[in-house]
Amino acid sequence: MSDLYFRNSRVRSQSTKAGMLLFHLSTGKAYQCNETAEVLWRSLDDHPTLGDLVAHFRHLFPEVLEETLTHDVERVLRLYESEHLVRRMEDPRGMQG
C-alpha cells in the first residue's frame, strides 16, 4: 500500500534566482531549496505517492538509476516530514477491495 504526500498548509513558497524558499508560518523557519528539491515541492500539487514522484524524476533524469532516484526522493521527503513541511497519509484507494 502506498502513502500520499501533502504539503503543510502553513508553508508558503517563494521562487528566487537562487532557487525556492519555503517559509513555515507556524515555526517561523525558512528553508532554501535547490532546483531538484523545488521540482519535488512543486510535484506535491496532486498529492502523489512515492512511486508517482520517482516516475516523474525518472522522466526528468533518465540516465539515473531508479534505485538512486528512489533513495534521493525518499531522503528529501523524510527531511520535509521531519521539518513538518509535508505530511504523509495512507492512500484510501489502496483500501478498496
C-alpha cell at 40: 519535488
- Predicted confidence at residue 97, as pLDDT, reads 41
Task: Check if the beta carbon of residue 96 is closer than 8 Å to that of residue 39.
Answer: no
Stated pTM of the model: 0.87
pLDDT in tens, the chain (97 residues): 589 999 999 999 999 888 899 999 999 999 999 988 999 999 999 999 999 999 999 999 999 999 999 999 999 999 999 999 999 998 877 654 4
- Predicted confidence at residue 96, as pLDDT, reads 46
C-alpha cell at 42: 512543486
- Predicted confidence at residue 24, as pLDDT, reads 98
Residue ranges covered by each domain of the chain: 3-7+34-90
